[in-house]
Structure 1
Amino acid sequence: MTKKVPAAWAVSSLLALCVAVPTLAQTPQTTPRARAEAIVARMTDDEKIALVHGLFPPMAAGKTANALIPSAGHIDGIPRLGVPIVRESDASLGVANQVEQRKGDVATALPSGLATAATFDPAIARAGGAMIGSEARAKRFNVLLAGGVNLTRDPWNGRNFEYLGEDPLLAGRLAGQHIAGVQSNRIVSTVKHFALNAQETGRMVADARIGEAALRMSDLLAFQIAIETGRPGSVMCAYNKVNGDWACENDFLLNRVLKRDWQYPGFVMSDWGGVHSTAKAANAGLDQQSGQELDKAIYFGAPLKAAVDSGAVPRARLDDMVARYLTGLIATGAYDAPMPARAQAIPYARNALVAQRTAEAGIVLLKNEGQILPLARTARRIVLIGGRADVGVLSGGGSSQVRSVGGAPIEIPLTSGAAMSFARYTYHASSPLKALRAALPRTTITFVDGTDVAAAAAAARGADLAIVFATQWTTEAQDVADLALPDQQDALIAAVAGAQRNTVAVLETGGPVTMPWLAQVPAVVQAWYPGQRGGEAIANLLTGKVNPSGRLPITFPVAASQAPRPAPVGLDLLTSIEAQAAANPANATAGALPSFPIDYVEGADVGYRWYEKMGRAPLFPFGHGLSYTDFAYRNMTVSGGKTLRVSFDVANTGKRSGADVPQIYVGRAGSGGPMRLAAFTRVTLKPGETRRVTLTAEPRILADYDTSLPGWRITGGAYRVALARDATDRTLVKTVTLDSATMRP
């Protein structure tokens, strides 16, 4: 039986809130925290209360004398003290404008988070963050709700595409760099959603259950690394419960882990609609109620003032809430860098190249049998089939949706479902068909929409090569029903492959899909949601202008049954309740959805670790990705003791320049546990070039979390170290001895 973290921890850890905390940054004059406390000391109680709850602009008309930009959030400033107005925007993949709240306002759309993760390149993650942060400032936003780092625990999660995969080291490092890039513009980035928001089905009522050690070694480690790397001004807590308490009033998560153990100095904001109480939430560590109109009450308005007056919430706690908010603004530079009075010009053409480079580095070549790719120059007739490849590339839905430069050639409002009010089925105007025609002007390239399978097969038969574009739309607030491609696209691919042996499948999906046709198709390209220059990126990769270098940040299962859970937990229950409510609306009770548990039986063994632990061979493993050139690893040496270092040569033995992603996996010899990704890098080499690389293992990956310390414990002894191309590669394995060690939580 999995040991559970206690559902509620003593409020005694509230004392940790009132002691001195370290700072996010320091000026020669004073620390951000000290400066914040000096400002708080000059405030009235009403001014303090005004800063700890924020408006949701679409529902807040007449609630402020200041202009409301249609967006995610707004908090008035205090002019007499120099406290700035805060305007917040959704922003994981660009400055969001989901259902065109701001008419005509466009922004640069990055590829999905999984595409960024697939680059295995912190520099690319940082560049993407810096780009969207610059656009946010130009649009007069100073807080971006970016920095999604929730680990992929289930392949059907509708929001997987926003995040950075299943491994805590990879996700934490890239999220941290993305945050740092955003904040380089002197605005605040969040890190979110803290914690265990691992599915969208019932996300407002689900209770995520897991033992403390397992949680610390997986999802919390990803957050910890992201916070250490990016130093975000704010943390956004999640909708769901964690071990019995709502994440936004969870003393264990907010007080014990975040503020005491990690000494986090910034502020905790709620997710929109994620607050359930006043005194409990404040005492548990929530600092600000966001989007107050989406909660049942303005818990941090008059009720909080009354709670402070009665002593239910200590006055020192209110002061700490406000000081943390100001610390986040001051330390990131947002406090002292006023927003422009009006929107500024944005170099969209330059920014589009950031999106394109991310897509090109993140697209994964899954299969290339017979080296069918890059496209043969002798192919004079190519047919593109399906996926609306004539007009654009697919985008994921929800709060991360960007209305991209160039417009949306396809935009279909939803008529039902949990995402109906804020998501649309949307394409970016970047046509793979147009891009391929431009890249191959001497080739006849035609398009067939694929709705008629027989016609598609006939078109493929009459061509030299067929490229089938298959899509799977996913969105926040809803999980996919299964991992099959929707709308009979599996049958379409199989029919085309049966008619044309030179068939390439290009997948634009929110995560893994099953591939019953894989044996028939010689080449498969995982393009994710490739962003506003996705058509150009796909064309460059297919034609060989760009050598594919992406690696899977998420395991692709053979079937959903291989994953720890074969379908969203609670889906049947919620579907039944919704059906009953629709059949008997007079008896339906608003907001009466029951809470239900999700037992994360895999514990810390998320993703590829689960497959190794259970002895299950995936369709494609974490870390997998092919290239148009070849790489060799040579002269591997490993040193141990206090620090694990691995040195080796990487050689490009092929005929093209390309990038490789060496990965280091480590496991304690004889433990029986799966090996863990402990280090990685991205190396770009010319043909014939060799480079010596040294990687240092992240010590917390080598350790286990020991709740009795409490802290991290490396057990001294022998460890197996694999220099690998993916999570299943054990071609080069050495053994090294490590010293015993302990580390703070």
Structure 2
Amino acid sequence: MTRDLDALLNELDLETKTRLLAGASVWSLPAVPGIGLGAVVFSDGPVGVRGVQWSADDPSVTLPSPTALAATWDPALARRVGGLLAGEARRKGVHVLLAPTVNLHRSPLGGRHFECYSEDPLLTGLIGAGYVIGVQAGGVGVTVKHFVANDSETERLTVDVHVAERTLRELYLAPFETIVRQAKPWGVMAAYNSVNGRTMTEHDALVNGVLRREWGFDGVVVSDWLAARDTVGAARGGLDIAMPGPNSVYGERLAEAVRAGKISPKRVDAMVRRVLLLAERTHAFTDQKPPNPSEVDGNALAQEVAQRSFVLLRNGFSHKERPVLPLEEPKSIALIGALAADPKILGGGSATVFPEHIVSPLDGLRAALPHGTELRYAVGADPRTTLPPATDNFRLRAMVHDAGGSELATFALREGKIDWIGELPRGLELATLDSVDIAGTFTPTVSGVHTFGITGLGHLTLRVGRQTLFDGPSIPSGDIFAAIMKVREHRREIELAAGKPVDVRLTYRVPKELRAFAQGSFAWLVFGLGHQEPAPDEDATLKEAVRLAGQSEVAVVVVGTTAEVESEGFDRASLRLPGRQDELVAKVAAANPNTIVVVNAGAPVELPWREDVAAILLTWFPGQAGGAALASVLFGHEEPGGRLPTTWPATLAQSPVTNVQPHQGILEYDEGVFIGYRAAPPDTAYCFGHGLGYTTWSYDDLAVAPTPEGGAAVRVRLRNTGDRAGREVVQIYLSPAQPDAERPVRWLAGFASVEAGPGGGVTALIHVEPRAAETWRAGAWRHNGGEYVFEASHSSVEPRLSTTATLGKIR
């Protein structure tokens, strides 16, 4: 049914209208029973749907990271992912997903790199559009984020990005424009940062001017959580919803601004009308029946996306004079690396969800091992700088107390970690909560010196047995948001005897700094108790791994980043792998020529040993089924189908952009449009679009037919010249026939995936939009007619066929 939203508006008084724009809680807008409106519930994504509780008690299907999804170069697969997430949202009572993140990989140092898609605006926009279409087809809304130029984490709440209009249009606004025009999203999220002197929650020119009037966006604009700062500025700047509620800049403050004549009632009505439209679209009115949740097998889709996303960077030859991968029933495999047993399946921060189960590489290989193949495991090197949460042989609970010491609630815990972000569980309120204990017993299985680690922003007290091991504040100075997100650990040691239980208690007190940041309603209680039993030293552990590798036919080394390196809230300082992982790979490769390195990272890392190993497989943050996908690809049941969505430099110095640190609050995008592959040196380690499969392809014919509107229809004929079925991503790059210093040498203009069996031929049809030949000049898009070189390529630097065509709009 089509609802008369204007009639509903007339039934609401000013206070009700402004409450609708402020939110009722951290994750929801208020219900208005008088007009039949239920609460509209938001939830974080993008790799799953967490729901309103930050808890493992309500698990979620956990998909591979957005960088992995973009590595599939498959908008149709992104659409299926969106459909799955819509079903998950409905199952959890969620109406709006806070995703997708379509900011660009401006620099490989960006800490939230894993949550964005690509360095290229076209690839980002098309993958994002597929995702949005899939989610909204299931009756669930999205908030495409973070609008705009929120491409790094340092001083993210306050940084002012200075960017030229052409750069903004051609790069950073472009994915949002593609998604608005193709997928018609129901929501967009305004970022924390400022652009050219104006905060995005008050940016009239970009929100009302570009997003609404120019592109025709008819949905809601919601603030990033705690981003809205000024009532009048936000309302005039185009912000519809200021989250979280109820203590936002809207609500009663907005009502007062209307009564004082600072904000027009018509402006508020327009804002509320867009919220009511969102509610109707997401079936939030009580007389609406929402669509049935998707019946998609979440685990199967998670594994499919992972397999399709894995990028085979290198595949050398074994002593059998054939490629090392896929493996053909080796007699023995040494699996090495802490991340092989405890992988990093997703990035940290607001993207966090809790899977019901995780298949590690160790689990996956054990389950898929060919008959007669022996698998042996060694840690080798552990990159983690914090201890894993206390689990085995701990029996723990959480106890919550008020300032007077009265117990407010108690909870059973699976592990020694509390993650209460947003809303507190079971009706607890931040105003009355004073302390939380993680308490219980631990029964050691090994005698010796045990190490306990404690993390958290606040006052911490750790007692083990009769000893107080730590009692003091853990409140770093500086940016409170960065301090919250960047883990800081204190370690203490104690001698314990096997088989003798000891009492363990970690007490956390909420600091005043955190209460101020929370603005009275947005909780951020994250602290934990880690543990490590007595273990060999690092040298002995590494030596054992090398010995094992030397005794095995194949060595598989899993390396990668950690939560301390890649997360929301802070940028990276280096592209080096943490810990002694580089040393581990070098020594294993020296001991075994058939060394395969699996890289478990969401963003580029330096691989100084890349020419010394037999094969390198990039698995990103692969989600809950990553280990099963890895086994399937290693043993050749599936082909690694991914292509790099971002350039991987040999060293950080090779990256065109390394500046993510604001100076006096300002971050200059002075590199213009020359980021990523558009400016990468020719000797970069692995170029944009690169990825090997298990077969080979010949590119046989390229035909380009210009279209009247200034674009082109491209046809590429290919043949699978290998001995097994495979998939190829055909990439079309455009270059001006006459070099133009103001434009890159080449840029991505379109792409398509094709599949064929051994010896099979196939044709890729690719439409190149007129925008590919346009630049932003003098306040408008200008078509640059003339001769262009079209390259049908395997990657940005591997053209297979090329031809020249003249582009120009027919008037």
Same topology, TM > 0.5: yes
Q: Is the 8 A contact 2:72 2:308 kept in 1?
A: yes
Which residue does 1:450 correspond to in 2? 380
Matched, 1:305 2:305: no
Give the match for residue 430 of structure 1: 359
Q: Secondary structure at the match of 2:689?
A: coil
Equivalence for 1:377: 328
SS in 2 for 1:280: helix
The structure-2 alpha-carbon separation of the partners of 1:568 and 1:705, relative to structure 1 and needing over 3 Å to count, comes to closer
Higher helix share goes to which structure?
1
Residues 90-134 of structure 1: CA deviation (Å, up to 9, x unaligned): 010001269x63451101000000110000011110111111110
Match 1:662 to one of 701, 716, 730: 730
Moved more, 727-736 or 630-639: 727-736
What is the alpha-carbon distance in structure 1 between the residues aligned to residue 761 and residue 283 of structure 2?
Answer: 42
User: Which residue of 20, 43, 67 maps to 1:114?
Assistant: 67
Q: Deviations over 1:643-697 (max 9, x none)?
A: 3121121211111111100000112221243211111011111111111222110
**Amino acid across the alignment from 2:660:** P
Question: 1:324-354, CA deviations, whole angstroms, 9 ceiling, x for partnerless residues?
Answer: 112233245554775889xx99868x21111
Instruction: Tell me the alpha carbon deviations over residues 202-252 of structure 1, each in whole angstroms, 9 at most, x when there is no partner.
Output: 111111111112111111111111122222211001111111111111112
CA contact (8 A) 2:707 2:713 kept: no
Written as runs of structure 1 = structure 2, the 5 A alignment for 1:279-678 is 279-292=232-245, 298-335=248-285, 350-370=297-317, 371-406=322-357, 429-439=358-368, 440-451=370-381, 452-473=541-562, 474-566=566-658, 568-570=660-662, 596-611=665-680, 615-640=681-706, 642=708, 643-670=711-738, 671-672=740-741, 673-674=743-744, 675-678=746-749
Match of 1:721 in 2: 790
Contact 1:365–1:524 (8 Å) recurs in 2: yes
* Paired residues of 2:83 and 2:294 also in contact (CA < 8 A): no
TM-superposed CA distance for 1:43, in Å, is: 1.5
Q: Does 1:86 align with 2:36?
A: no
Aligned to 1:689: 760
Greater shift, 561-570 or 601-610, is seen at 561-570
Aligned CA-pair RMSD: 2.1
Instruction: Please give the alpha-carbon distance, in whole angstroms, between the structure 2 residues aligned to 1:503 and 1:686.
Output: 29
The whole-number CA distance in structure 1 between the counterparts of 2:121 and 2:267 is: 32
Match of 1:43 among 12, 33, 51: 12
Q: Could you give the per-residue CA deviations for residues 370-425 of structure 1, whole angstroms, max 9, x where no partner exists? A: 1543243252011000033135553211111110022xxxxxxxxxxxxxxxxxxx
SS at 1:550 equivalent: coil
Q: Work out whether residues 138 and 346 of structure 1, in 8 Å CA contact, stay in contact via their aligned partners in 2.
A: no
Corresponding residue of 1:256: 209
Q: Match for 2:236: what amino acid?
A: N
2:22 corresponds to = 53
| SS of the residue 2:173 aligns to | helix
Equivalent position of 2:519 in the other structure: none
- Matched-pair contact (CA < 8 Å) for 2:325–2:615: no
Give the distance between the partners of 1:386 and 1:40, measured in 2 at CA.
60
Q: Equivalents in 2 of 1:556, 1:695: separation in Å? A: 26
TM-score by length of 2: 0.76
Q: How much has 1:616 moved relative to structure 2?
A: 4.6
SS at match of 2:303: helix
Change (3 A) 1:259 1:741: farther
Structure 2 CA distance for partners of 1:221 and 1:741, relative to 1, 3 Å: farther
1:727, distance to aligned residue in structure 2 (A): 0.9
1:733 maps to 2:733: no
Match of 2:129 among 157, 161, 176: 176
Between Structure 1 and Structure 2, whose CA radius of gyration is higher? 2
- The aligned amino acid for 2:306 is A
Q: Residues of 2 paired with 1:148 and 1:304: CA distance?
A: 29
Describe the shift of the 1:684–1:730 C-alpha distance in structure 2 as closer, same or farther (beyond 3 A).
Answer: closer
Identical positions, percent: 35
Which deviates more from structure 2 when the two are superposed, residues 512-521 or residues 731-740? 731-740
Deviations 1:608-631 (A, max 9, x none): 1122xxx45321011000011011
CA deviation map 1:51-100 (0-9, x unaligned): 1011444xxxxxxxxxxxxxxx11112111122211111010001269x6
Whole-angstrom distance in 2 between the partners of 1:48 and 1:563: 49
Q: Which moved more, 1:368-377 or 1:250-259?
A: 368-377
1:21 aligned residue: none
User: Could you tell me how far 1:698 is from its partner in structure 2?
Assistant: 2.0
Secondary structure, counterpart of 2:762 in structure 1: strand
- Provide the rounded CA distance (Å) in 2 between the counterparts of 1:102 and 1:402: 8
Between the aligned partners of 1:183 and 1:691, the Cα distance in structure 2 is 32
**CA separation in 1, counterparts of 2:555 and 2:600?**
17
Q: How far apart are residue 170 of structure 1 and its match?
A: 0.9
Is the Cα contact below 8 Å between 1:187 and 1:329 reproduced in 2? no
Residue equivalent to 1:191: 144
Distance 1:219 1:333 in 2: 32
| The one of 180, 187, 191 aligned to 1:238 | 191
Helix, strand or coil: the match of 1:659?
strand
Residue 646 of structure 2 aligns to a residue in which SS?
coil
**TM-score normalised according to structure 1 size:** 0.83
Q: Residues 334 and 737 of structure 1: is their aligned pair in 2 closer, same or farther, counting only changes over 3 Å?
A: farther
Cα deviation for residue 741 of structure 1 reads 7.1
Separation in structure 1 between the aligned mates of residue 117 and residue 657 of structure 2, nearest angstrom: 20
Residue 135 of structure 2 aligns to a residue whose secondary structure is helix
**Aligned match of 1:123:** 76
- Which residue pairs with 2:750 in the alignment? 679
**How many residue pairs are counted as aligned between the two chains?**
639
Structure 1: which amino acid aligns with 2:600? E
User: Structure 1 stretches of 5 or more lacking a match?
Assistant: 1-26, 58-72, 407-428, 574-594
